[in-house]
A and B are shown apart, each in its own frame.
Chain A
Amino acid sequence: MVQIEAKDLSLGYEKQVVVKDLNFTVSEKDYLCIIGENGSGKTTLVKTLLSLNEPLKGTISFSGGLKRNEIGYLPQQSNVQRDFPATVEEIVMSGFAGKGGKFFYDASQKKKALENMERMKVKDLSSSSFSQLSGGQQQRVLLARALCASQKVLLLDEPVSGLDPQASASMYELIRQLNKEGMTIIMITHDIEDVIDDASHILQIGRSNRFTDIDTFKKERKG
């Protein structure tokens, strides 16, 4: 079932086009990796998918029960305030901030947040200070927050950058697990080698855009 469809997308800012004629679809349970050089427009694409930016041209449509603002988002590490005074629980709960319950979080949201912390193996840390966690732990906390925001699609912007190999491996393992449980994954990555066995589709953006499934991608690379 198609969840996201991008048609003839042109992205950029203030009339400067960064990406042109982008076409791709994301279906339920897909694991899409987006790769491209620095400055090729990956971050702009992320912002557009999250409805933070308007595309210059073309459309992004959501279907299959997925609505705008229902994508769970894991931002790039550098965009997160590392010294912010907040506990793990406060941050995970904030995943629900855009959802129902006008003023305060309700009991079912609290329960869900605990479950998501459990899934990301940060439940023991729930009253710890976010700023004192390791990079890998912080990423897992933010992933738990993303899970609170969406049951369907996760958009991960370079989830392992800055992590040591061990933390990276466990991050990839968690993402693989989520994908197996039915979550659609869209991941921006530098290192395609690490996820080539997990991904189902590859989107290359830059001077030329190419959207393929993983088997075609592997064949083309060999050839």
Chain B
Amino acid sequence: MFSELALYLSFPFVRYALIVSILIALCSSLLGVILVLRRFSHLGDGLSHVAFGAMAAASIFGLKNDMLVVLPITMITAVILLKGGKKGLIKGDAALAMLSTAALAFGYLLMNVFPSSGNISGDVCTTLFGSTSILTLKKSDVILCSVLSALVLLVYVLFYKKIFAITFDEDFAKATGVDTEKYNLLIAMIIAVVVVLAMNLVGSLLISALLVFPVLSAMRLFNSFRAVSIVSALISVFCAISGIIISILASTPVGSTIVAVNCLIFILCTLFGRKR
């Protein structure tokens, strides 16, 4: 088994896949801490559907999987959703449900009306469940992914105290002089970045799992914000690595395997955690 693994690791695309998934797992878990605690868990899901729609639109113009189109569209949506959250046209979750399903429908519609390859259902399945795309990464994807992840990490560490204050009590933070609008904008942008990155790994339907599971697992074990942040990152990275290895050895789809490992860890944390 180990020799088989070593063989696979000698392929550059497998190593790329591992690097990228570690980075994505790290970022998504940190962001998940903010989203879960601010009751925005569905935001990642909604945004990923929008990203799916954007990707479909991009593919019509022969720009398949082009982050340069998908990323800005997702970012703008994230900003609009977070800004509109309180006094927007349509209130929170209904707006999100509407937007995400509409994007999904239009995305699929576009892919069917303007097919870019012979295998539409294969394409759709890949974008929704990320079945193989993680193993087809090019070196340029890895570099882009690394830079974006580093940026997300940097933002989280540097603005840690503001992020904590806003997440715990936004009104108090604003009242005592934290520029909450600015940080909300920043958070919205990095959510969009992480969602687009994570689409490569688990596909757009499973992104929420990557955002939510590690945090909830960590919350079963620890009571401080710092410990929850660090441990959820560790859990997430562990799940990503073991998920990829299992998927290689057992020839299972990468995304769903990673999510399955996350579920398992969550169950274990719930059973053995000191908090009930």
**Which residues of A pack against B, CB within 8 Å?**
47, 50-52, 69-73, 75, 79-81, 84-87, 90-91, 93-99, 103-105, 127-132, 145, 149-150
Contacts and interface: CB of A to CB of B under 8 A. Distances in A.
Nearest to A47: B171
B175 A81 contact: no
A134 to B, nearest CB: 16
B168 A94 contact: yes
A97 B175 contact: no
B175 A95 contact: no
A93 B161 CA distance: 9
A152 to B, nearest CB: 12
Residue of A85, A95, A99, A127 ringed by the most chain B CB atoms within 10 A: A85
B177 A131 contact: no
Interface string B116-130: 000000000000000
A86 B176 contact: no
Contacts of B158: 103
Nearest 4 interchain pairs by C-beta: A98-B177, A129-B223, A97-B165, A50-B175
A89 B224 CA distance: 9
Contacts of A145: 172
Contacts of B219: 85
B74 to A, nearest CB: 28
Contact of B224 (A50, A75, A85): A85
B162 A69 contact: no
B176 A97 contact: yes
Contacts of A70: 176-177
Given A97-B162, A103-B158, A104-B161, A73 B228 contact: no
Interface of B: 37, 158-162, 164-165, 168-169, 171-178, 219, 222-228
Contact of A97 (B161, B171, B225, B226): B161
Contacts of A96: 161
Contact of B164 (A50, A94, A99, A149): A94
A84 B176 contact: no
Contacts, number: 96
A132 B169 contact: no
Given A52-B174, A73-B172, A103-B158, A85 B165 contact: no
Contacts of B159: 103
Given A50-B175, A97-B173, 16 more contacts: A51-B175, A69-B177, A71-B175, A86-B164, A87-B225, A90-B164, A93-B161, A94-B161, A94-B164, A97-B165, A99-B177, A127-B224, A128-B223, A129-B223, A130-B223, A145-B172
B226 A149 contact: no
Given A69-B175, A69-B177, A81-B37, A87 B224 contact: yes
Contact of A73 (B160, B176, B223): B176
B1 to A, nearest CB: 38
Given A85-B223, A85-B224, A103 B175 contact: no
B175 A94 contact: no
A85 B168 CA distance: 9
B176 A69 contact: yes
A194 to B, nearest CB: 24
Contact of B161 (A69, A80, A87, A105): A105
A35 B69 CA distance: 55
Nearest to A146: B172
B70 to A, nearest CB: 31
24 contacts: A50-B174, A52-B174, A69-B176, A70-B176, A73-B172, A73-B176, A79-B169, A84-B37, A85-B222, A85-B224, A85-B227, A86-B168, A87-B223, A90-B224, A94-B168, A97-B162, A97-B164, A97-B173, A98-B176, A98-B177, A104-B161, A129-B223, A131-B223, A145-B172
A73 B175 contact: yes
Contacts of A73: 171-172, 175-176
B37 A94 contact: no
A96 B176 CA distance: 8
A75 B37 CA distance: 18
A43 B171 CA distance: 12
A25 to B, nearest CB: 20
A75 B171 contact: yes
A93 B226 CA distance: 13
A98 B165 CA distance: 9
B54 to A, nearest CB: 33
Contacts of B175: 50-52, 69, 71, 73
